[in-house]
Amino acid sequence: MNVYVVETAKRLAAAGTAVEIFTRATSSELPPSVELAPGVLVRHVTAGPYEGLLKADLPGQLCAVTSGVMRVEAAHPEGWFDLIHSHYWLSGQVGWLASERWGVPLVHSMHTMAKVKN
């Protein structure tokens, strides 16, 4: 998991904000969720094969990831999430859909873009 995401989550939690991080499960042995730090819950969303995917194959899992995120939200009381912070373009797509569905703001951080990176 990206160091920036982890450290931001820890600092938000230390300030009193409950944080849930959604990430694609990469092993069948991972629990559905794990506490990363006090106030920070990581949710492993099943989407595609557990083994690593090629970067080019990740967009094919967008629907599965989105479905997994929506299922978690449906298990919470209405209005559970106050804000979505997505990173990179793939999670930005999921975040945008969740933001629209849940009626909450979306903050998106690209971090790197191919045109600038290359």
Q: What is the pLDDT along the chain (118 residues), one digit of tens a residue?
A: 589 899 999 999 999 999 999 999 999 999 999 999 999 999 999 998 888 788 899 889 999 999 999 999 999 999 999 999 998 888 999 999 999 999 999 999 887 766 666 5
**Angle between the N-to-C axes of helices 88-102 and 62-74, in degrees from 0 to 180, rounded to the nearest 10:** 40
What pLDDT shows up at residue 1? 53
What pLDDT shows up at residue 46? 92
pTM score of the predicted model = 0.87
Q: What is the residue range of 94's domain? A: 3-117
User: Residue 15's domain is classified under what CATH number?
Assistant: 3.40.50.2000
Per the structure, how many domains does the chain have?
1
Q: Write out the two tokens for 12.
A: 């938000």
Burial class (CB in 10 A: 0-12, 13-18, 19+), 74: exposed
What pLDDT shows up at residue 114? 65
